[in-house]
Amino acid sequence: MKKARILVVDDEPRLVRLVKVNLIASGYEVNEAYNGKMALDLLEAANYDLIILDIMLAGDMDGYQVCSRIRQFSTIPIIMLTSKAREHDRVRGFDVGADDYLTKPFSVQELIRRVKAVLRRSSPIATTVTCPRFICNDLVINFAQRRVFVKGIEVGLTATEYQVLYHLAQHAGKIIPHEDLLTWVWGPEYRNEVQYLRGYISNLRKKIEDDPSNARYIISKHGIGYYLSNDND
């Protein structure tokens, strides 16, 4: 089986060495970059399965800017490293396209767990769905191609955002409890991370709703979960 290739982007050589050694020991192929420009150059030269990206980078670009640049041409999964645990910092990371975040200092076990979870989410979904697409008004989800359209225009989703929307669409019209959606998308170890889920739902609404504050498609049931509307006007 081909090894997953991971790019580690951080301006702290000691942390890069620590992360690289442990990822290699876990069976991954690893390259490193120490600033945004170096990371973008490596991404142009080779294919990667995952990026681990520090927010606080030396040079002209911080991690948010690098992530935003990457999202202009790639949906590769990105885990952001941050020394900031504030909610709005995590939300900003999601807004520029991050798939997950890890707060420093972190344990090697936690890092490997997050890497495995993100790679699992980015893999094609095994499905027995007989209907090739979901359509509700202006929203179209093409399951076979993993593509989403609103009013005929394709919407760029991260791998994790697509997984959330996919599971909502597979149970359209039915309320999915927070714990179930978290388990299906992230794994059982995330089943209590309701605030985490809210960040992704908020991002999805910004991308597919005309008015995210008055959602038409992704409907909340306070304290219970979410459902995707299947009512066509």
Sites in the chain below the pLDDT cut of 70: 1, 84-90, 124-131, 233
Based on the fold, state whether residues 41 and 117 are members of the same structural domain.
yes
Based on the fold, state whether residues 10 and 44 are members of the same structural domain.
yes
Is residue 128 in some structural domain? no
Per residue in 110-133, pLDDT (tens digit) is 899 889 888 887 775 544 445 678
Based on the fold, state whether residues 10 and 117 are members of the same structural domain.
yes
Phi, psi of 76 (to 5 degrees): -55, 135
Q: For position 159, what pLDDT does the model report?
A: 80
Among 67, 92, 122, the domain-final residue is: 122
The enclosing domain of 171 has a CATH number of 1.10.10.10
Is residue 148 in some structural domain? yes
Q: For position 118, what pLDDT does the model report?
A: 87
Based on the fold, state whether residues 138 and 29 are members of the same structural domain.
no
Dihedral angle computed from the Cα positions of residues 58, 60, 63 and 69, in that order, rounded to the nearest 10 degrees? -150
Based on the fold, state whether residues 97 and 29 are members of the same structural domain.
yes
* Number of structural domains the chain divides into: 2
Based on the fold, state whether residues 80 and 143 are members of the same structural domain.
no
Among 77, 101, 122, the domain-final residue is: 122
Query: What gap in Å lies between CA 7 and CA 39, rounded to an integer?
Result: 8
Per residue in 167-201, pLDDT (tens digit) is 999 899 999 999 999 988 888 878 888 888 888 89
Q: For position 128, what pLDDT does the model report?
A: 47
Note down the domain range covering 199: 133-228
Based on the fold, state whether residues 15 and 111 are members of the same structural domain.
yes
Question: How far, rounded to the nearest angstrom, does the alpha carbon of residue 161 sit from its chain's CA centroid?
Answer: 6
Q: For position 218, what pLDDT does the model report?
A: 96
Is residue 233 in some structural domain? no
Based on the fold, state whether residues 45 and 91 are members of the same structural domain.
yes
Based on the fold, state whether residues 213 and 144 are members of the same structural domain.
yes
Q: For position 214, what pLDDT does the model report?
A: 92
Among 81, 102, 122, the domain-final residue is: 122
Based on the fold, state whether residues 154 and 109 are members of the same structural domain.
no
Contact 49, 122 (CB under 8 A): yes
Based on the fold, state whether residues 142 and 213 are members of the same structural domain.
yes
Q: For position 211, what pLDDT does the model report?
A: 94
The two most distant CA atoms of the chain are separated, in Å, by: 57
User: Which residue type sits at 4?
Assistant: A
Q: For position 125, what pLDDT does the model report?
A: 54
Q: For position 193, what pLDDT does the model report?
A: 83
Q: For position 87, what pLDDT does the model report?
A: 63
Based on the fold, state whether residues 47 and 149 are members of the same structural domain.
no
